[in-house]
Amino acid sequence: MCSLLEELKEISGRSTEGILADFSDKQLLKDTINRLEEAYDIDILVNNAGFGYMGEFYPMAEDKIESMVEVNVSAVVSLCRAFLPKMTKKQGTGILNVGSIASFFSTPLSTLYGATKYFVLSFTDGLHMEMLPFGVHISGLYPGHTATNFIERASGGKKKKWDKAIAAGEVADLALDGLRRNKARIIPGVGNKMRFFASRVLPARIISNKIYASAVKNYGDDR
């Protein structure tokens, strides 16, 4: 946390406050929202908290299932509901919800994660339309393979990094530009745009088979 705050200060020239909170804990999330509401007038909200799980659904631990739904779904809803009312009363406000290219199709061997990201897609598309009369920008970011430690954590170390991943900074720049222009859906990278197009034209069964085969190849099937 300290190194991140120092990096942000060096880039922006401003002091930055960091708050650590586990969004799978409803009370901690509520306390964090209250703290932010008391201290700040929020103009831009980026819902980027989330995590994945690579493996079959049926052996997932119940606490991991609950945590994923709380962080990837419930926290997004709670944060949007908390800050939107004030955003509707002033100009230059917006929310960026981070989904995934997995928001557009089922993801066997990552089934629950894909489902939570589909929720982000539907929820964000709806909010985008609702907020147009108020001038509040609502955008969804749907990245694919990005150069972060996401896949290493989600796969339990079976896969260290994505092949041909997009730099995180590039994704962030595209996301903020898209939010500024109030794009409903922001899909970084040609490869991801092709995956999105394929999800519109190919039968769901074909896509699911391909994703399953790729998942087995990338991080294995333990059966």
Catalytic (active-site) positions: 113
> CA–CA separation, 164 vs 52, rounded Å?
19
Take residue 192 and report the two structure tokens written for it.
């991801």
Asked whether the beta carbons of 23 and 78 are under 8 A apart, the reply is: no
Q: How far from the centroid of its chain's Cα atoms is residue 166's Cα?
A: 15
Asked whether the beta carbons of 130 and 145 are under 8 A apart, the reply is: no
Take residue 153 and report the two structure tokens written for it.
């954590």
Take residue 30 and report the two structure tokens written for it.
């509520």
> CA–CA separation, 15 vs 64, rounded Å?
35
> CA–CA separation, 183 vs 97, rounded Å?
12
